């Protein structure tokens, strides 16, 4: 059986450390889904991340959307550096069978020069070997 509590804490730590240059990660919610009731093998996992972004975001709507997409893709790169394999182990994302779907923007609280708070969701799946 996979120890979700230990795995979650390790994953949160690695994400916060890796993404610290551009993101102030405020909260990470992790949810694991299993292939069966024995909870020995993962079918997927989800990350919902609340963050403050340190980069620039344009206020014009079309540019704002482009900048948010750029920001979420940048965070996705950091999230893929260390991933959880199907056995519940943290491994390097390089050459793993783990991939992430396009991120979802759940909320944005943006005020110029004051606050850049976003909640983004990422879903991680496994390629069949």
Q: Which residues pair with 49 in a beta bridge?
A: 28, 120
Per-residue pLDDT for 129 more than 80? no
* Share in percent of the chain as helix, strand, coil (round to 5): 25, 40, 35
pTM score = 0.89
Q: Which residues pair with 99 in a beta bridge?
A: 125
Using only C-alpha atoms, the chain has a radius of gyration, in whole angstroms, of 15
Cα separation, 17 vs 22, in Å, equals 11
Q: Which band of pLDDT confidence, cut at 50, 70 and 90, is reported for residue 112?
A: confident
pLDDT for the residue numbered 113: 72
Q: Which band of pLDDT confidence, cut at 50, 70 and 90, is reported for residue 56?
A: confident
Mean pLDDT score across all residues of the chain: 91
pLDDT for the residue numbered 122: 97
Q: Could you give all domains of the chain from N- to C-terminal order, each with its CATH number?
A: 4-126 (3.30.980)
């Amino acid at each position: 059986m996979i120890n979700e509590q230990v795995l979650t804490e390790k994953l949160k730590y690695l994400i916060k450390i890796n993404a610290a240059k551009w993101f102030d990660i405020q909260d990470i919610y992790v949810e694991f889904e299993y292939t069966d009731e024995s909870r020995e093998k993962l079918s997927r996992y989800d990350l919902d991340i609340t963050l403050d972004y340190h980069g620039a975001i344009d206020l014009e709507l079309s540019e704002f959307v482009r900048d948010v997409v750029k920001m979420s893709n940048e965070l996705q790169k950091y999230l893929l550096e260390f991933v959880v394999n199907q056995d519940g182990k943290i491994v390097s994302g390089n050459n793993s069978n783990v991939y992430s779907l396009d991120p979802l923007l759940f909320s944005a609280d943006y005020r110029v020069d004051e606050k850049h708070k976003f909640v983004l969701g990422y879903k991680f799946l496994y390629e069949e070997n």
